[in-house]
Amino acid sequence: MKAWVLHDIGDIRYEDVDVPAAAPGEVRIRVAAAGICGSDVPRICETGAHRMPLIPGHEFAGTVEETGKGVSEFWLGKRVAVFPKIACNKCRMCREGHSELCSDYDYTGSRRDGAFAEYVTVPAKNLLELPEIVPFEQAAMLEPLAVAANAVRTGCGKSDGSFYVPKNAAVCGAGPIGLAVVMMLKHLGCEGVFLIANKDAQRKRAGLFGVAENSFCDSRYNDPAKWLSDVTDGGAEVYFECVGNNESIYYGIESLAPAGRLVLVGNPASDMSFSRDTYWKILRKCLTISGIWNSSFAQVDPGEDGCRDDWHFVLDLIAEGGISPEKLISHRFLLEDSDEALKVMRDRKSDRCKVMILTDS
């Protein structure tokens, strides 16, 4: 089969490799669509993967073509998306039903071969069956959408699994995750959704999700903290930091209303530090600061008790037409042209959002 193989930092090649066989407990999937994550770029171009050679790619969907020993033939021919984190199922978090917090895990596309290829093998326990009405392109975005769902459920969730709808919420960062957060806030019925970003293309794309011109702050020309305090009449109720730097965290701490919630979503771009004055604001405003990473997944549907995992939550939203993730796609490339796709991501082309790799024309 054809695959993009990362041999060393900056050395990724399109080449022939053996078609993988499904090991016991696994299935082999013919990949239909795979998204490029922002984390794939440094993995390929700057830091390398946990092991190399490696086929990257952890956002994907396709069709099951082979089942390994011990896997039900129910899965043969099924259209599926795949939860990429492979939990150990032994540690305390796994035993308590929080496998997303497992610290002794494997991971498709960064620790084992992923989906920038015609085929990939994954554990059957990580499969999510897709309704026919959900296209592969949308299904390949379930992973980042589930991360955004985790953020929104953390920032707007109640202990019983339901939501409270804030009067206003702010999102810093207009990449795929930030815009997915915007989509979900709008779906919840939050009327005042304010977005901070710094690219003209992001302003235009934000409009597709109902962000009005006067609800967008271009951080190149404005003080986002002051702007947010003004437009929210004294402070935002919830602030989602989807960038990962000190400055954007500071905007949130400065602009949140007392008892506000700050949800940290973006991967860190550098070390973080708080000034004494900033720390005082956290204390005196009684802010709640939460960090999220990855998302929750359970193959067996937990039921209708309002506590569904992030993946089923998002799949339902897509199937019901509650969100339109295809609007996030800015570029599409065939598998053989993935070097161009990576260049679009690496060079930070101004109009890029979600870059999608397709195995068929």
pLDDT band at 331; cut points 50, 70, 90:
very high
Would you give the distance in Å from CA 289 to the centre of its chain? 20
Estimate the share of the chain in helix, then strand, then coil, as percent rounded to the nearest 5.
Answer: 35, 25, 40
In this prediction, residue 360 carries a pLDDT of 67
In this prediction, residue 151 carries a pLDDT of 96
Residues forming CATH 3.40.50.720 domain(s) in the chain:
145-291
| Residue 10 φ then ψ, to 5° | 80, 0
The CATH classification number of 2-140+324-358 equals 3.90.180.10
Interval 183-216: pLDDT, tens: 999 999 998 999 999 888 888 888 888 898 889 9
Residue 304 pLDDT exceeds 70: no
Strands 354-358 and 26-36: antiparallel
pLDDT band at 361; cut points 50, 70, 90:
very low
Of 183, 179, 227, the C-alpha closest to 201 is 179
Mean pLDDT (whole number) for 86-105:
89
List own/partner pairs for 342-348 with CB under 8 A and 24 or more apart. 342/12, 342/36, 342/40, 342/41, 342/44, 342/45, 345/36, 345/38, 345/40, 345/41, 346/41, 346/45
Question: Using an 8 Å Cβ cutoff, are 32 and 44 in contact?
Answer: no
In this prediction, residue 269 carries a pLDDT of 82
Interval 245-291: pLDDT, tens: 999 999 999 999 999 999 999 988 888 898 999 999 999 999 999 99
Mean pLDDT (whole number) for 221-238:
91
Residues forming CATH 3.90.180.10 domain(s) in the chain:
2-140+324-358
pLDDT above 90 as % of the chain = 72
In this prediction, residue 301 carries a pLDDT of 58
Q: What class, spelled out in words, does domain 145-291 have in CATH?
A: alpha beta
Global confidence as pTM = 0.94
Mean pLDDT (whole number) for 151-169:
89
Residue 305 pLDDT exceeds 60: no
Q: What is the mean pLDDT of the chain?
A: 91
pLDDT band at 81; cut points 50, 70, 90:
very high
pLDDT above 70 as % of the chain = 97
Residue 303 pLDDT exceeds 90: no
DSSP 2-65: EEEEEEETTEEEEEE-PPPPPPTTEEEEEEEEEEEPTTHHHIIIII--SSSSB----EEEEEEE
Interval 147-159: pLDDT, tens: 999 999 999 988 7
The partner residues of 170 in beta bridges, in order of sequence, read: 194, 239
Interval 345-358: pLDDT, tens: 888 776 889 999 99
Of 279, 242, 237, 278, the C-alpha closest to 261 is 237
Mean pLDDT (whole number) for 28-51:
92
Higher-pLDDT residue of 64 and 221 is: 64
